[in-house]
Amino acid sequence: MILGDLLGTPVYDSDGGRLGRVADARFVVDGAPQQLMAEARLLGLVVSPHSVSSFLGYERTGVNQPWPLAQMLEWRHRGSFLVMWEDIAMIGEKSVRLREGFTAYSPALDGAGQE
């Protein structure tokens, strides 16, 4: 599948409650080694309740300058969470459904852009 089709798709819980939209997809480079980089597997999806997409990752990277812009973007992305691949029950053309009892993790990355 093409990732662009998934970004911006509404996300629902197992009862059909709307949680937000897919803002980003997180990969982790820990798959089978290859000649150059190892395989990158899908770790999970970043879901944002209020915005369609992410902008510069302000809600994930802890960047707080310039102050007004950071405040505005943090507010816009408030409530964002990361849901792991294991908690995704179905990916459809127009919706993503999560499993019952899924865990919402913090989407934050450290200063080097890592978990």
Partner 1 sequence: MNRPFPSTLAPVPPIAGRTLDAQLHLMDRQALDNDGVPVTTVDDLELSGPALETEIPEGTPAPILTALLTGPVLGTRIFGGRPPSSRLIRIPWKDVADVGVVIKLGVSGDSLDAGWVERWIRDKIIARIPGGRHDPR
State the residues that interact with partner 1 by CB under 8 A: 1-5, 7, 18-19, 23-31, 34-44, 46, 49-50, 53-54, 56-57, 60-61, 78-79, 81-82, 84-86, 88-93, 99, 103-109, 113-115
Cβ 21 to partner 1 shortest distance, Å = 12
Query: What is the spatial distance between Cα 32 and Cα 42, in angstroms, rounded to a whole number?
Result: 13
The sign of the CA dihedral 15, 105, 103, 27 is: positive
Phi, psi of 88 (to 5 degrees): -95, 120
Nearer to partner 1, 8 or 72 (CB): 8
